[in-house]
Amino acid sequence: MNEMSNRITDCRIRPVMAPLEMPHKTASGTLEAAPLVLIDVIADDGIVGSTYIFAYTPAALEPLAALSKNIASSLVGETAEPGAVSALLDARFRLLGNQGLVAMAISGIDMALWDAAAKRKEKPLYELLGGKSDPVRVYDSLGQMGPDETARVVEASLERGFRAFKIKAGHPDPKTDVAVVRSIRDVAGKDVWVAADFNQAFGVDEAVRRMSMLDEEGLAWIEEPVQASDYQGHATVRSAIRTPVQTGENWWGMPDMRNAVAAKASDLAMPDVMKIGGVSGWREAASLANEVSLPVASHLFVEISAHLLNATPTAMILEWFDIAGTIITCTPEIADGFAIPSQTPGAGILWDESAIEKIIA
Ligand SMILES: [Mg+2]
């Protein structure tokens, strides 16, 4: 059967609170479980494309699931080819706009259709996208903790195979941020790769003051020092410090990325596959990053991102923040600082149905 003739016949959408293997501390509390919408799109050849999307807050979980269900159901009878579906949904949602929950649901469907397309070709997704099968450099994305707790967590992380780390910085006392970075170097070696995420915590002046205090620490990047949408603010911080500035996880599609690039907001780029427009959006982002020589890191979604980075010319490093590991059977392995993308056909999302059954009940 010609792949163009494959039609979508059904979908299954399941909202779950997936328990995290390791609770994640942030400035606003501890994340114990991730609100995820599991998406399966079924085609007339029996192939099921699977993915999950992240609602960020339980308050958005049911609405995101309902929206995903409505959009996916509206595609029954349409082609299963992701490019065509993307064009179709772009037209259907032009008036409402493609951001927020709408963008997340559309991206999820795109990710599921790409998974199916790779399964249909019996190839891992990276291969379908023209990528390599190489292990991908990875960093462990740590929660917000003081120096002693960070040192303990890093020791355990080194044992699991990680060799690079990112902290959630922005402690009330900026000296604590410096102490946390040094505590990692004490445990993992003075040349270890360390980055710091500020999660949009500061205004531009305060950001410059605080980032300057970290300029001697040899960080790989400083992430979102100011509000994500403030590209000019990012550019100002960037010109005031030596440490590379990283942003991109909050780009909603290519228009945001293009604006950030035009403002010279960032030394690096870290698009989020769900916010940038799924695999289709990521491919455009990777192409623009290549054009303007921006090294690319990923955000969340470890399984599919390992595939996408292998098909990204300026790939830099994979973020490891595993929000679905307890409900997936083939989480990428970590070895000596690298993650190994799944080698089975598709994007490496295989549901652990018995684990899901327990949390759905
Ligand atoms: Mg971040």
CATH code of the domain in which 264 resides: 3.20.20.120
How far is ligand 1, taken at its centre, from the CA of residue 358, in Å? 31
Active-site option among 24, 119, 166, 168:
168
Based on the fold, state whether residues 194 and 227 are members of the same structural domain.
yes
Q: Which of 166, 171, 299, 307 is catalytic?
A: 299
User: What are the helix (H) ranges across 219-341?
Assistant: 231-240, 253-262, 273-276, 278-291, 302-310
Confirm whether 98 is domain-assigned: yes
pLDDT at residue 361 in the model:
66
Q: How remote is the CA of residue 196 from the centroid of ligand 1, in Å?
A: 9
Residue 182, C-beta contacts closer than 8 angstroms, at least 6 positions apart: 147, 217
Whole-number Å distance, alpha carbon 333 to ligand 1 midpoint, is 23
Angstrom distance (rounded) from CA 341 to CA 302: 9
- Are 196 and 213 part of one and the same domain? yes
- How confident is the model over 133-160, as a mean pLDDT? 96
pLDDT at 22 over 90: no
Cα 247 to averaged position of ligand 1 atoms, centre (Å): 8
Q: What is the 8-class DSSP label of residue 202?
A: B
In the three-class reduction of DSSP (H, G, I as helix; E, B as strand; rest coil), residue 230 is classed as coil
- Active site includes 299? yes
In whole angstroms, what is the distance from residue 169 CA to residue 236 CA? 20
Considering Cα of 291, then 297, then 298, then 299, what sign does the dihedral take? negative
What are the tokens at 125?
């997704």
- The residue count for the chain: 361
Asked if 18 and 64 sit in the same domain, the reply is yes
- Residue at a domain's end among 123, 144, 164: 123
Instruction: Answer yes or no: do 165 and 240 share one domain.
Output: yes
Cα(80) to centroid(ligand 1), Å: 33
Q: CA geometry: angle at 142 spanning 55 and 192, to 5°?
A: 140
Instruction: Report if residue 356 sits inside a domain.
Output: no
Mean pLDDT, rounded, for 206-210? 96
Q: What is the mean pLDDT of residues 51-60?
A: 96
Of 77, 96, 123, which residue constitutes the final position of a domain?
A: 123
Q: Is residue 73 part of a domain?
A: yes
Residue 293 lies in a domain: yes
Tell me, what DSSP letter sits at residue 300?
A: S
Give 199 Cα–ligand 1 centroid separation in angstroms.
6
Distance CA 253, CA 256 (A): 6
Closest by Cα among 162, 177, 291 to 153: 162
What is the pLDDT confidence band of residue 309, given thresholds at 50, 70 and 90? very high
Specify the CATH number for the domain of residue 98. Answer: 3.30.390.10
Q: How many Cβ atoms are within 10 Å of 140's Cβ, its own excluded? A: 23
Could you tell me if 173 and 309 lie in one domain? yes
Residue 354 lies in a domain: no
Dihedral of the alpha carbons of 321, 139, 111, 64, in degrees to the nearest 10 = 30
171 part of the active site = no
Domain identity same for 302 and 252: yes
pLDDT digits (tens, 9 = 90+) for 122-131: 999 999 999 9
Are residues 164 and 17 part of one domain? no
Mean pLDDT value of segment 4-21: 94
How many angstroms separate the Cα of 206 from the Cα of each of 10, 63, 166, 266, 290? Answer: 51, 37, 21, 18, 32
Q: pLDDT, tens digit, for every residue of 212-229? A: 999 999 999 999 999 999
Q: Alpha carbon of 313 to those of 151, 221, 285, 332, 348: distances in Å?
A: 34, 20, 11, 21, 21
Q: What is the pTM of this model?
A: 0.96
Short-list 226, 218, 138, CA closest to 181 = 218
- State in Å: Cα 135 to ligand 1 middle: 23
Both 143 and 95 in a single domain? no
Task: Give the number of domains in the chain.
Answer: 2
Residue 97 gets the label, from left (phi > 0), alpha (psi -120 to 50) or beta, of left
Quick one: 183 and 110 in the same domain?
Answer: no
Asked whether residue 357 is assigned to any structural domain, the reply reads: no
The CA 92 to ligand 1 mean position distance, Å, reads: 31
Answer yes or no: do 237 and 290 share one domain: yes
* Cα 166 to ligand 1 centre (Å): 9
| Domain of 313, in residue numbers | 126-348
> From ligand 1's centre to the CA of 120, what distance in Å?
34
**Distances, alpha carbon 203 to alpha carbons 200, 231, 243, 265, in Å:** 8, 12, 18, 15
- Give dist(CA 143, CA 20) in Å, integer: 13
Question: Could you tell me the distance, in angstroms and rounded to a whole number, from the CA of residue 249 to the centre of ligand 1?
Answer: 6
Tokens 């030394």 label which residue?
267
Based on the domain organization, do 215 and 286 belong to the same domain? yes
Position 1 scores a pLDDT of 45
The number of helix segments (H) and strand segments (E) in the chain equals 13, 13
Q: Say whether both 258 and 171 belong to one domain.
A: yes
Q: Assign residue 300 a region: left if phi > 0, alpha if psi is -120 to 50, beta otherwise?
A: left
Write out pLDDT tens, residues 242-269.
999 999 999 999 999 999 999 999 999 9
Is residue 358 a part of any domain in this protein? no
The residues that bridge with 351 in the sheet, in sequence order, are: 328
Which of 123, 158, 181 corresponds to the end of one domain? 123
The answer to whether residue 360 is domain-embedded is no
